[in-house]
Amino acid sequence: MDFRSDTVTRPTESMRAVMAAAPVGDDVYRDDPSVAELERYAADLTGTEAALFACSGTMGNLLALLVHGRRGESVLLGAQSHIYHYEVGGLSALAGLLPYALDDESGLPEVASLAGAVRGRDNVHFAPTSLLCLENTHNRAGGVAVSPKALGAVAEEGHCLGLKVHLDGARLFNACAAFGVEAREYVRFVDSVQLCLSKGLGAPMGSVLCGPRGFVEEARHWRKCIGGGLRQAGVVASAGLMALRDMRSRLAEDHENAALLARLLSEGGLAVEPCGVRTNMVYFRLSGTGVSEGAFQKRCEERGLQLGVAGPERIRMVTHLDVSRQDVEAAARIVLETVACP
Ligand SMILES: *Cc1c(COP(=O)(O)O)cnc(C)c1O
């Protein structure tokens, strides 16, 4: 049983059949009908003018940074955000941007924290701020989903301060499922959004970056520059389209499983981290159990359960397409046994 991430899902037989049958062409020449269909569908779904297929979520976010910011400018983002923690410093290494990190433990930075963090062009010492990045659902904050209203308030403040706003929506559809809203109800507040196809939606790879037509054309230019111009990409884009069309409705099941897991673990006495609006993740602490995260992970693996270490004494478990309710019950038993006798 693999609870490390929702990225571990494998394409279903029917997804493989769709991939095998997909009409394809050279997408650098914009000849791939399956890529074009995915991009059109993603744009419609998010209420944006256009969309671009990218190899990964990291690439989609990097393209947004490259388009919205210029070298030597600065970007406001969450101190716990994926872009800051897990994207290899691409924002500085490749986009030339200086990050200013804001407290986002709750899933969003406080509206009031933005104004003081923005650097203007009026002072010659500063790296002027051009961009604000938000994340929903928020991975390191526990997979928490924030509402359109809460996200909109922060995005609007960003706009008032003259910033572009990019949403890392790797798991935006989990937030949509949690609040029972359409993606466009979030996306209307931001200038661009990145959506992962290969997480809970179950595609083998890819992400889409959505926004205004001019933005997407610039992102296409940068995508080629960083080696992301693919040829017969319809082979994988077709799986992404199927994921986007058919798999959104099943995310609620992952959320029920995560809620069950959180309940079973906390009833068993573990320090499960509280989460405002939980989606498909459960974080818990090993503090006080006398077992280190490395040893715990190894013992669980020997008992047939894979899970993730998210920091010192901090463990993450993620529910997804390939874990059932029975798996959740079995996994909870293994975790509790392992804590009791490591
Ligand atoms: C997974 C993830 C990404 C990046 O996706 P990759 O496809 O792994 O590059 C970006 N942001 C968040 C919040 C993620 O969870």
pLDDT of residue 287: 87
Instruction: Check pocket membership of 141 for ligand 1, CB cut-off 6 A.
Output: no
Instruction: Check pocket membership of 82 for ligand 1, CB cut-off 6 A.
Output: yes
Which pair of structure tokens corresponds to residue 256? 């029920």
Q: Which residue owns the Cα nearest ligand 1 atom 8?
A: 57
Which region holds residue 107: left if phi is over 0, alpha if psi is between -120 and 50, else beta?
left
Which of 9, 82, 194, 236, when mutated, tests ligand 1's pocket best, judged by the most ligand atoms within 8 Å of its CB? 82
3-state SS assignment for residue 164: strand
Instruction: Check pocket membership of 57 for ligand 1, CB cut-off 6 A.
Output: yes
Q: Could you tell me which of 48, 47, 32, 19 has the C-alpha nearest to residue 219?
A: 48
pLDDT of residue 78: 98
Render the burial of 31-61: b for 16+ CB within 10 Å, e for the rest. Answer: ebebbbbbbebbbebbebebbbbbbbbbbbb
Tens-digit pLDDT profile for residues 100-112: 999 999 999 999 9
Q: Which residue owns the Cα nearest ligand 1 atom 14?
A: 170
Distance CA 132, CA 115 (A): 11
CA–centroid distance, residue 32 to ligand 1 (Å): 25
pLDDT of residue 92: 98
Domains of the chain: 13-247 (3.40.640.10), 250-340 (3.90.1150.10)
Distance CA 215, CA 295 (A): 47
| pTM for the predicted model, two decimal places | 0.97
Distance CA 289, CA 51 (A): 48
Which of 86, 137, 151, when mutated, tests ligand 1's pocket best, judged by the most ligand atoms within 8 Å of its CB? 86
Which pair of structure tokens corresponds to residue 206? 């890819």
Distance CA 194, CA 133 (A): 11
Which of 138, 168, 226, 283, when mutated, tests ligand 1's pocket best, judged by the most ligand atoms within 8 Å of its CB? 168
Distance CA 189, CA 151 (A): 8
What distances in angstroms separate CA 10 from CA 16, 58, 202, 205, one per listed residue?
10, 20, 7, 10
Distance CA 90, CA 74 (A): 13
Distance CA 201, CA 223 (A): 23
Q: Could you tell me which of 174, 101, 167 has the C-alpha nearest to residue 137?
A: 174
Q: Could you tell me which of 232, 184, 122, 77 has the C-alpha nearest to residue 87?
A: 77
3-state SS assignment for residue 287: coil
Task: Using the atom order of ligand 1, give the atom closest to the CA of residue 205.
Answer: 7
Residue with the two structure tokens 């969003």: 108
Instruction: Provide Rg for the chain, Cα atoms.
Output: 20
For residue 206, how many other CB atoms are within 10 A of its CB? 28
For the chain, 342 residues long, give each residue's pLDDT as a single digit of tens: 999 999 999 999 999 999 999 999 999 999 999 999 999 999 999 999 999 999 999 999 999 999 999 999 999 999 999 999 999 999 999 999 999 999 999 999 999 999 999 999 999 999 999 999 999 999 999 999 999 999 999 999 999 999 999 999 999 999 999 999 999 999 999 999 999 999 999 999 999 999 999 999 999 999 999 999 999 999 999 999 999 999 999 999 999 999 999 999 999 999 999 999 999 999 999 988 889 999 999 999 999 999 999 999 999 999 999 999 999 999 999 999 999 987
Instruction: Check pocket membership of 280 for ligand 1, CB cut-off 6 A.
Output: no
